[in-house]
Amino acid sequence: MRIGELAERAGTTTRTLRYYESRGLLSARRSDNGYRAYDEDDLRLVQQIRTLQDFGFELEETRPFVECLRAGHPAGDACPASLVVYRRKLDELDSLIEQLRAVRAQVGAELARAELEAGAALPGGPEPRCELGG
């Protein structure tokens, strides 16, 4: 198939495919007329890259999965190098989750404080005005 068909079937753009090619993740063969030619294996590679990127993987982190598919394995995560990347990504996600929990706790504490202060100001005087909106 030509690059336009591969892009359409993979749900991406020809520009993206050329970028993958420039990074060595996708290899195009050339047909007799000079057009890039791809096959179903190339579609699987692009789908693997896109799935991983949808999960938040950087493009370079997809390389072990692509290499695993190129080596003939039925899945991109059938190789030890891919499992290492999965583990690293899980560690990164766990760290981000902990950071978000800490920020959430801080925001919750600020909200509770602000609600207390706003409630204390209501009984004897006018409602506080926010000058930001208008």
Written as six digits, the tokens of 71 are 């080596």
DSSP 8-state assignment for residue 126: P
What one-letter code names the amino acid at 94? Answer: D
| Helical spans, DSSP H, in 73-130 | 80-121
pLDDT digits (tens, 9 = 90+) for 65-98: 999 999 999 999 999 999 999 999 999 999 999 9
Identify the pLDDT of residue 102. 97
Kindly tell me if the per-residue pLDDT of 56 is higher than 80.
Answer: yes
Could you identify the residue written with the tokens 């009984």? 123
Q: What is the pTM of this model?
A: 0.76
